[in-house]
């Protein structure tokens, strides 16, 4: 029985346990994943994880209570668990007050998206990866298999999102903290595509072999590669676009709404559900539009609105998750030719990755973080030497506003390799950014 059919039949059965006007909603996340972790080209840990977590919300009028449970994937056991859970939730409903912000989908808009792939056998993948690591210090993780997200309710709505993917997230190390990071993700493993990624990493690794320069704190003209810019945009997304964060004045983009602060007119950021790989529905069953424009022509445009915030603040939901953060971030390309990045940088820093960002002044969207992996000092449009790690501390209004020289004319697609709880379905499509006078402090 497929995971989808199993979920469907379980919810039909759960619906039969309801009483009176009770409504039941259920969201499911799950995976059948293989994980192989490498260090110095050898296997550190290897294994499989099979899990299905279901969250049920039992609703009676304006009251509701929720419970999450790990499914045993045995029909008898799971029916017993869900049945007991419904009884527990029903008992609890009598003890809680009505929820003025309760909101759940009633349109019964069902959807299905199943993406299959040709994933390599684990032993074959290990062989390919260890071959790439021959005579190199390779460290990273290979993850592959099916991931599932589902929604169902007792009104008859069914939503299912399933994809078979692999994601190899790795680094080649030269020595100490001198390394190049890369990512090979997709649905069908292609030896040639992987070899091209390995070759690109080797080229960067060769450049890292030169004596590193130790730059002093100060301001530098800087090119932020797409992976580095992703980290900055993720900080803006941490409460930046949620309706609740705006209404409670906690958004890091507060100055855009209170003082009319703007970014450069070339900056356009959207929640691009149609172009991403995340589900087009959320935990209460609301569908997401193909696109929500968050920043347009450098000006704040729209919020991400969860069903709960929609009720609280009296606006329509746009299918945002409860935490109101974008999951399929897309930033428009600019006009800076990607092939001319080094020559346009001329003299300054080429930053491949940023790391461990946080706010140093949230209300001012002032962010700090470190350079990491392939970061180079460039003179006259040529890479001169790797740069030792530096701490930056600067505001989005400088980096993507006054001091933005340009965004590249090509965007890079990056699938999120995160695996907290389960494998992520988030993604980013971003250009690189050339910035004047980026502030480095340590």
Footprint on residues 5-34 left by other proteins (CB under 8 A): 33
Cβ closest to other proteins, residue 298 vs residue 369: 369
| C-alpha span between 53 and 47 (Å, rounded) | 19
Q: Of residues 318, 395, 425, 427, which one binds other proteins by CB under 8 A? A: 395
| C-alpha span between 426 and 277 (Å, rounded) | 7
Cβ closest to other proteins, residue 278 vs residue 439: 439
User: At which residue do the structure tokens 């390779």 appear?
Assistant: 138
Please tell me whether residue 305 binds other proteins under the rule CB under 8 A.
no
- As measured in angstroms, the least distance from the Cβ of 406 to other proteins is 25
Nearest C-alpha neighbor of 233 from the set 267, 205, 204: 267
Q: Of residues 19, 20, 21, 95, which one binds other proteins by CB under 8 A? A: 95
DSSP strand pairing (412-415 vs 427-430): antiparallel
Cβ closest to other proteins, residue 158 vs residue 244: 244
Q: For residue 231, what is the enclosing H or E element?
A: helix 226-237
Cβ closest to other proteins, residue 3 vs residue 330: 3
DSSP strand pairing (427-430 vs 328-331): parallel
| C-alpha span between 210 and 177 (Å, rounded) | 14
Q: Of residues 5, 108, 203, 258, which one binds other proteins by CB under 8 A? A: 258
Cβ closest to other proteins, residue 124 vs residue 206: 124
**Residues near 188 by beta carbon (within 8 Å), at least 6 away in sequence:** 117, 118
Residue by residue, DSSP assigns 54-110 as EEEEEEETTEEEEEEEE--S-HHHHHHHHHHHHHHHHHHHTTS---TT-----S---
Q: What contacts 24+ positions apart, CB below 8 Å, involve 82-89? A: 82/10, 82/13, 82/14, 82/17, 82/54, 82/56, 83/14, 83/17, 85/56, 86/14, 86/17, 86/18, 86/24, 86/56, 86/58, 89/56, 89/58, 89/65
Distance of CA 109 to the CA centre of its chain: 25
Footprint on residues 408-437 left by other proteins (CB under 8 A): 418-420
Cβ closest to other proteins, residue 318 vs residue 395: 395
Footprint on residues 35-74 left by other proteins (CB under 8 A): 35, 37, 39-40, 42-53, 55, 57, 64-74
Binding residues with other proteins: total (CB under 8 A): 93
**Residues near 84 by beta carbon (within 8 Å), at least 6 away in sequence:** none
Q: Of residues 1, 12, 101, 323, which one binds other proteins by CB under 8 A? A: 101
- As measured in angstroms, the least distance from the Cβ of 25 to other proteins is 11
Both tokens assigned to 168: 């190899």
Q: Segment contacting other proteins (CB under 8 A): 4-12, 199-207, 245-253, 428-436?
A: 245-253
- As measured in angstroms, the least distance from the Cβ of 10 to other proteins is 14
Footprint on residues 116-135 left by other proteins (CB under 8 A): 122-123, 126, 130
Draw the binding track, 335-374, toward other proteins (x: CB under 8 A; -: no contact): --------------------xxxxxxxxxx-x-xxx-x--
- As measured in angstroms, the least distance from the Cβ of 410 to other proteins is 25
Draw the binding track, 205-244, toward other proteins (x: CB under 8 A; -: no contact): ----------------------------------------
Cβ closest to other proteins, residue 251 vs residue 408: 251
Measured at the CA of 426, the angle between CA 421 and CA 432, to 5 degrees, comes to: 135
Cβ closest to other proteins, residue 140 vs residue 226: 140
- As measured in angstroms, the least distance from the Cβ of 127 to other proteins is 9
Burial of 42 (0-12, 13-18, 19+ CB in 10 A): exposed
Cβ closest to other proteins, residue 311 vs residue 344: 311
| C-alpha span between 233 and 394 (Å, rounded) | 13
Q: For residue 414, what is the enclosing H or E element?
A: strand 412-415
Cβ closest to other proteins, residue 234 vs residue 271: 234
Q: Of residues 18, 141, 385, 414, which one binds other proteins by CB under 8 A? A: 141
User: At which residue do the structure tokens 């709404």 appear?
Assistant: 257
361 strand-pairing partners: 366
Q: Segment contacting other proteins (CB under 8 A): 89-97, 150-158, 292-300, 430-438?
A: 89-97
Footprint on residues 163-192 left by other proteins (CB under 8 A): 169-171, 173, 176-177, 179, 181
Q: Of residues 22, 26, 28, 81, which one binds other proteins by CB under 8 A? A: 81
Cβ closest to other proteins, residue 182 vs residue 408: 182
| C-alpha span between 10 and 56 (Å, rounded) | 12
- As measured in angstroms, the least distance from the Cβ of 346 to other proteins is 27
């Amino acid at each position: 029985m497929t995971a989808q059919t199993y979920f469907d039949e379980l919810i039909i059965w759960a619906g039969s346990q309801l009483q009176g006007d009770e409504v039941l909603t259920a969201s499911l996340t799950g995976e059948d994943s293989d994980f192989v972790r490498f260090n110095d080209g050898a296997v550190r840990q290897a294994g499989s994880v099979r899990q299905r977590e279901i969250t049920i919300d039992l609703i009676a009028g304006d009251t509701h209570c929720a419970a999450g449970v790990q499914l045993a994937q045995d029909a008898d056991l799971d029916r017993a668990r869900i049945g007991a859970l419904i009884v527990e939730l029903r008992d609890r409903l009598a003890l809680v007050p009505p929820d003025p912000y309760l909101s759940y989908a009633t349109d019964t808009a069902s959807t299905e998206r199943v993406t299959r792939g040709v994933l390599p056998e684990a032993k074959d993948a290990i062989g390919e990866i260890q071959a790439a690591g021959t005579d190199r210090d390779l460290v990273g993780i290979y993850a592959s298999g099916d991931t599932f997200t589902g929604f169902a309710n007792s009104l008859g709505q069914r939503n299912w999102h399933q994809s078979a993917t692999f994601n190899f997230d790795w680094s080649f190390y030269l020595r100490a903290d001198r390394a190049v990071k890369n990512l090979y993700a997709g649905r069908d493993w292609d030896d040639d595509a992987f070899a091209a990624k390995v070759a690109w990493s080797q080229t960067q690794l060769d450049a890292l072999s030169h004596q590193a320069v130790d730059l002093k704190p100060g301001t530098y003209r800087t090119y932020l590669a797409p992976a580095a810019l992703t980290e900055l945009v993720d900080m803006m997304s941490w409460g930046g676009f949620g309706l609740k964060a705006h209404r409670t004045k906690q958004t890091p983009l507060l100055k855009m709404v209170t003082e009319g602060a703007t970014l450069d007119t070339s900056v356009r950021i959207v929640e691009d559900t149609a172009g991403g790989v995340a589900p087009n529905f959320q935990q209460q069953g609301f569908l997401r539009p193909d696109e929500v424009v968050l920043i347009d022509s450098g000006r704040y445009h729209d919020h991400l609105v969860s069903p709960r915030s929609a009720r609280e603040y009296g606006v329509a939901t746009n299918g945002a998750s409860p935490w109101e953060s974008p999951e399929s971030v897309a930033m428009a390309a600019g006009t800076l030719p990607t092939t001319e990045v080094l020559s346009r940088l001329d003299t300054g820093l080429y930053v491949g990755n940023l790391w461990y960002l946080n706010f140093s002044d949230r209300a001012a969207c002032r962010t700090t973080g470190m350079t990491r992996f392939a970061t180079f000092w460039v003179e006259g449009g040529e890479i001169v030497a790797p740069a030792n790690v530096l701490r930056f501390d600067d505001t989005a209004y400088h980096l993507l506003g006054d001091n933005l020289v340009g965004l590249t004319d090509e965007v890079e697609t990056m699938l999120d390799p995160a695996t907290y709880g389960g494998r992520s379905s988030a993604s980013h499509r971003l250009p690189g950014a050339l910035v004047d006078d980026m502030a480095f402090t340590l």
